[in-house]
Structures are given as structure tokens and as C-alpha cells.
Amino acid sequence: MSEQIRRVVIVGGGSAGWLAAGVIAADHQIPRVPGLEVTLVESPAVSPIGVGEGTWPSMRDTLRRIGVSETDFIRECDAAFKQGSRFGGWTDGGGEHYYHPFSLPQGYGEANLVTPWLREHGAVPFAELVSCQPQLCERGRAPKQVTTPEYAAVANYAYHLDAGRFGPFLQRHCTARLGVRHVLDHVTRIEACDNGDLAAVVTGAHGRIEGDLFIDCTGFSSLLLGQHYGVPLVTVQPQLFNDSALAVQVPYAAADAPIASHTIATACAAGWIWDIGLQSRRGVGHVYSSAHMTDEQAERILREYVAAGTDARTAAALAPRKLSFRPGYRASLWQRNCVAVGLAAGFVEPLEASALALVEFSATMISEQLPATRALMETVAARFNEAFRYRWERALEFLKLHYLLSRRSDSPYWIEHRAAATVPPRLAGLLELWRHQPPSRYDFHRIEEIFPAASYQYVLYGMGFRPESGARPESVQNAALAQRCFAEAAALGKSMLAALPANRALLNHLQSYRLQRI
């Protein structure tokens, strides 16, 4: 039990496997500093689940951390800039919409912006008053200029990317630059030690591959944690009903068509449609509950959505890809010397694009807390499990908020989402509290919250939630500070709109010219 941890074996590739490999290899300076080996075993017959991914701004830090050129990443992964999400039809099912931008409200943490917003600017959407980013999205602006260095931002941003290209891109970088050993082979058997630890995975052509720590990145099959160790899935389907998706790749109507600077999430009768703009195409998909809608109904709604944005012929020619999933997460993420990352750990649904962010957070904690010896692994595993149970629970609550606040009554799907039995108890308590005060750091007090209080404010007030009138008295000082913040947000928006290029214009520029390296 005092053996040193020298061999990390990652089973499964894709975005999860290669991000984990890259973070660990870069942090531990493989191969320049001897002592740790990272091997990734990947089946040649397994294709990635991803159908076009949205990310969080954390992805900029992750890619920079592992030494990737942002220009190369944008070129090779068909990536585009993302500045938040636009939610349409979620509140009443009509033409209403609101934004959840990546930028914090101007003056966030310094002033209570909600009371003066309601008192003097209630007709203006909350996000549009406290942040300039909804304006940038509405006008299709990029988040930076051609002279802005790699990973630096004028407005906070993340990416939309082609998941089918992202994994191979990371694989090339990790093997050529970071010393990761890549084994392309099928795992035929798993060998365990007498004490229950994993000893090795056995492959068809490369034989036994021994390890001290195994990272399960085998997707929904969860070959190591789920199948070998039998760690059950904690289902969240009583709270969030979606378990199916149909995805298509939609061509742009013209080569110079605008590229949206945000994810578009449009609510439907029993689910919602994502619309993600890449450089060469759009990734569009319908997420829905199989208990409330048939696959045929879901496909018809998806084709109608695509036809409205292109034409009937384009929509009719598409061949949707069907995905099914069990929404939930593993009861334990780290068992003995095996830890799961990505879909092997769990998946709730694509709303708010938390999947890759959880991969990043997992890889970072594994790398930074990598136990020196097997004897220390139990302590690290317990800490990891506690941290990620907390994150999964908070993610469930935040996603549930979108459905719970809806006033739609056009289908049982939306009505049942508001039933008290489907609401996590902690979220129910917070909603009662928020009738009297805005979400704040006291509600989400950890340093690394998955969704900050600002995100809850954007969704709450974007969907029409209003605190009780006069519930919180306002000081003269707060009123003056809030007005100054509103004015600063407006001025910032005006200057950015004048200075920032269109999203497509900047992306086209990067096909011929490189961003400056920091």
C-alpha cells in the first residue's frame, strides 16, 4: 500500500480521455521529468459520442495549460467563439427570450443590482441592463480583436467546437509534445489484484498494460467503474426527464452567413433544441423525454426547426443521429485505484454545456491531487468524491431551475416539471429565500462553485422570477452605486460594439493569420 504512483493508465480516448491525459502530462512535465508515465488505451472501433460541443471559458485556461496554440485549435477543430446562451420560449412558449452571458454583471459583488433594476428599469431585461454581452451576441460580435493575443479576451468567451475533430487534435498534441503513450487497441479483459485494486487492462495486440492509477474514460459503458466495480448510477430522471436526443449537421445557407456568438436553446413541447454555430456548419439537436414524445414526433419538430432557418429541401435531406442516455451520475467517482471522468462518471443533459467543464475540473483535481503513494489514495479519493458529488448536485439544481420557472402549460412535460415532488429540496428552500433577497455568495460559498450566484440571477430574472415587492429596503449608497454600474455597462457595450469585429470576420481572419502568442 506504500507503492509510489508512477503509471497512470487512461482507458478511453475522445475529449475526456485526451483532456485528462494532456492536463496530467503537462502538469507533471512528462517526459522531461522522469517518474510518471501516462498511457492512453483507446479502442479503434469506438467513435466519440460528441455531436458538436459547447464549452465554458475554463476551456481557454485548460488549452493554454497544456500548451495548445489557440489559433491551431480554432483552425483544426472548426471552432467558433461563444459568449453565452440565448434561451427562447422557455418562459411562456412564445417569442420571448433571455440571455445567460459569460460576463458577470457590472458591479457584481459590490452592489445589490436587483432592487434598483426592478424599481427604475424593470422594463429592461436584467441581463441587458447589467451586462453588455447580450448586445454583442445580438449583433454577432466576436469577443476579441485581431490584435488581441491568444486566450486573452475583450469580452469573456468560450468555444463551440467539433467534438469529432477535438479528440484527434488533442491526441496529436499529447503524443507529439507531452510524451503520452498511445495504445490503439481493444481491452479484452481487466485484471485485479488480491486486494481489489486494478492491476492491468489486457489488450488484444499489446497484451497487459499495468498501472497504479486507472482513469475510466470509456463513455456511457463505464467499463471500469460501472461494469468492473459495479458502482451504480444515481438517476436524476425524477427531476430532469430528458433521456434522448436527435442530432444533425446543418450547412450554412451561404459561405459568408453570420456565425452566432452564443448557443441558441429553443424550448419545445417536450424538450428543447440546441443550435451551435461552428465555422463550416451548424450543429443542431433536439433533446427530449421519451416518456413524453416519440422519436417520430421529435424528428418532425427538429426538421421543422431546421426548415424555418434554411429551407424544406435541406431539412428533408438530413439524417438525424439518435442518442439515448440515462441521466445521472455514479454514486462514487473514485473507487480504490480507479476514477471516472466524462460520460463514464455521468451525464445529465446538454443544457448549459456542463459536460466538458466537468471533465476539465476532474482532470485538474486528479492532476493537482495526484497521490504520491497508494497509501495516500484513499484520502484523495474521499476528497474527490465529496467535491464531485457536490458539483453534480449543484448542476442538477441549476438545470432544474430552467424547467421549474417555466410557465408553459402546453404539454404534460412542462406541467410535470413544476410538480413539488420533482424539485430538489435544497433548491426549493433557496427559491423561498430568493423571494426576499437575490442569490449571493452566501448561497454558493465554495471557491470553485460550478455555477456562481450570478448565473442564478441571470436565469431567475430572465425567466420572470420576481422577489416580493419591498422585501429588501435599499440604502441611498446602494442605489447610487447600482446606477453607476448600469451606466458603466451601457458605456462598455457602446465602445465594444464599435471596436469588435463580427464573429465570422475574426474567424475568417484566423484562417490566414495567427493570433499573437502570449
Neighbours of 7 (CB within 10 A): 16
Q: Is 188 in the same domain as 273?
A: no
pLDDT above 80 (res 118): yes
Q: Is 212 in the same domain as 349?
A: yes
Q: Is 409 in the same domain as 489?
A: yes
Is 16 part of any domain? yes
Is 371 part of any domain? yes
Based on C-alpha coordinates, what's the Rg of the chain?
Answer: 23
Query: In the structure, what pLDDT confidence band is assigned to residue 2 with cuts at 50, 70 and 90?
Result: low
Contacts of range 375-382, beta carbons closer than 8 Å, 24 or more positions apart: 375/1, 375/2, 377/5, 377/213, 377/336, 377/337, 380/334, 381/334, 381/335, 381/336, 381/339
- DSSP per-residue codes, 89-153: SSSSSSS-EEEEESSPPTTTTTS--HHHHHHH-TTS-HHHHH-SHHHHHHTTB-SS-TTSPTT--
Q: Is 332 in the same domain as 320?
A: no
Q: Is 397 in the same domain as 446?
A: yes
* Strand intervals (E) in 289-396: 321-324, 328-330, 334-335, 338-340, 346-347
Q: What is the tens place of the pLDDT at every residue in 233-265?
A: 999 999 999 999 999 999 999 999 999 999 999
- The residue from 347, 371, 388 where one domain ends is 388
Is 97 part of any domain? no
Q: What is the tens place of the pLDDT at every residue in 427-439?
A: 999 999 999 999 9
Is 130 part of any domain? yes
Is 509 part of any domain? no
Neighbours of 470 (CB within 10 A): 9
Is 518 part of any domain? no
Q: Is 399 in the same domain as 493?
A: yes
Is 378 part of any domain? yes
pLDDT above 80 (res 20): yes
pLDDT above 60 (res 51): no
Eight-class DSSP state of 345: T
Q: Is 414 in the same domain as 438?
A: yes
Element (H, E) at 41: strand 37-42
- Which range is least confidently modeled, 68-77, 172-181, 306-315? 306-315
Q: What is the tens place of the pLDDT at every residue in 447-492?
A: 889 999 999 999 999 999 998 865 567 788 899 999 999 999 999 9
- The residue from 372, 388, 404 where one domain ends is 388
Q: What is the tens place of the pLDDT at every residue in 257-299?
A: 999 999 999 999 999 999 999 999 999 999 999 999 999 999 9
Q: Is 140 in the same domain as 213?
A: no
Domain encompassing residue 419:
105-154+393-499
* C-alpha distances in Å from residue 406, one per residue of 31, 267, 351, 414: 52, 10, 15, 7
Tell me the pTM. 0.95
Residues 334 and 344 sit within 8 Å (Cβ to Cβ)? no
Averaged pLDDT, 324-337: 98
Residue 20 phi, psi dihedral angles, 5° rounding: -60, -45
Q: Is 175 in the same domain as 47?
A: yes
Q: Is 416 in the same domain as 486?
A: yes
Q: What pLDDT, on a 0 to 100 scale, did the predictor assign at position 470?
A: 56
Instruction: Work out how many domains the chain is built from and give that number.
Output: 3
- The residue from 292, 324, 356 where one domain ends is 324
Q: Is 446 in the same domain as 486?
A: yes
Dihedral of alpha carbons 216, 218, 221, 224, sign: negative
Is 87 part of any domain? no
Q: Is 166 in the same domain as 254?
A: no
